[in-house]
Copies of this chain bind each other. A is one copy, B any other.
Amino acid sequence: MRWASEIAQRTQAQLEQPDIQLKRLASLDSAGPEDLSFLMPGRTPQTQAGALLLRAEDRGDYGGVCLIVDNPYLAFAQASALFDVDWRRQTGIDSSAQVHPSAQIGQGVSIAAGCVVGANVVLQDQVSLGPNTVIQQDCQIGAGSQIAANVTLYHSVRVGLRARIHSGVVLGADGFGFAPDNGRWVKIHQLGGVWVGDDVEIGANTTIDRGALDDTRIESGVKIDNQVMIAHNCVIGQNTAIAACVGMAGSTRIGRNCTIAGAAGFTGHLSVCDNAHVGAMTLVAGDIRHPGAYAGGVQGARPMQDWKRNVARFNQLDQLAKRLIALEKKFTD
């Protein structure tokens, strides 16, 4: 339960009606008289919600408690924190966790059951580790970071302040490096680390490999969704957002404030400038030097018969183009 006035304070909203208690944050459709919801700009407030985050000009005849803001979606995000469950039900180190005596543990740290924390690890204040998470030697995790259950950090991974790292994430596994030697592969041991800045979120089952010699780097403010693969020596610039299932081969450099849509791929050893936006399932196989939107592919679903015909023609495309050119030539002769 939260008071509308608490919400107003958090979202810098102007509270236009008497204060009430709010049970849930809910969508317009499912919100009831005890719930808070939010109204996207220009929409009509048809809802049973007891309170609404909305712009003044969209109020219409809404009869509930108004929380007037400029940006209702941002306010919704800010309010959502107040309704979340606290990951850390307890502080302290569970008796079944195994923490190396050389580890430095800050104030208010929570280490859940079954965790293993290696030698020389530093966990700053208010770090929490979910059950069965493994943090290997020489890692450092910044204050306020929340590491979920069943996460693995290999040795010498550095995570900044206020990170959120979800279950199944693996940071610092070996990059995929082998030198060919008469048909066999000789392993290139991966001697770099992983460096993660502040305010980074990393989704479930994402993997970020350690660098071959230098570090793989995730700059501050980067948000990474689930099942993303970031190979050795990639560098992701500040505040870039990467959707699920994206894969980046080694030494891909992404600029700042980029957005990468789901299942896009990067062939490695290339750079993408700041403010580039890459579409779903697109393959980036060379540098992107100009800000803007990029896409590739013709994977859009079509009825099977149509698709088959077009694919057959695609496989004749060079030949068709030559026939067109020949015809043009004949015609203009």
Which residues of A does B touch, CB under 8 Å?
Answer: 24-27, 30, 71, 73-74, 76-78, 80-81, 83-85, 89, 94, 96, 98, 112-114, 116, 118-119, 130-132, 134, 136-137, 148-150, 152, 154-156, 164, 166-168, 170, 173-174, 176-181, 183-191, 199, 201, 203-205, 207, 209, 213-214, 221, 223, 225-227, 229, 231, 239, 241, 243-245, 247, 249, 257, 261-263, 265, 267, 278-286, 288, 292-304, 306-318, 320-321, 323-324, 327-328, 330-331
Taking a contact as CB atoms closer than 8 A, the residue among B84, B301, B320 that contacts A288 in the complex is B301
Least CB separation from A290: chain B residue:
B303
- Report which of B84, B114, B281, B308 forms a contact with A283, defined as CB distance below 8 A: B281
| CB-nearest residue of chain B to A312 | B318
Kindly state the separation between the CA atoms of A214 and B214 in the bound complex, as whole angstroms. Answer: 43
Q: From the candidates B119, B137, B295, B313, name the one contacting A307 in the complex (CB within 8 A).
A: B295
**Are A168 and B298 in contact, CB atoms less than 8 angstroms apart?**
no
Known: A134-B150, A314-B298. A265 touches B281 (CB 8 A): yes
A278 — which chain B residues lie within 8 A by C-beta? 301
Nearest CB to that of A118 among chain B residues?
B89
Distance (whole angstroms) from the CB of A146 to the closest CB of chain B: 10
Contact A116 B317 (CB under 8 A): no
Residue of B with least CB distance to A226: B207
Q: Which residues on B sit within 8 Å (CB–CB) of A283?
A: 280-281, 297, 299-301
Evaluate whether A166 and B174 lie within 8 angstroms (CB atoms) in the complex, with A132-B116, A297-B297 already known: yes
16 contacts between A and B (CB under 8 A): A73-B179, A76-B188, A83-B189, A89-B137, A94-B98, A98-B113, A149-B152, A176-B244, A203-B207, A244-B247, A245-B265, A249-B280, A285-B300, A297-B298, A310-B318, A313-B321
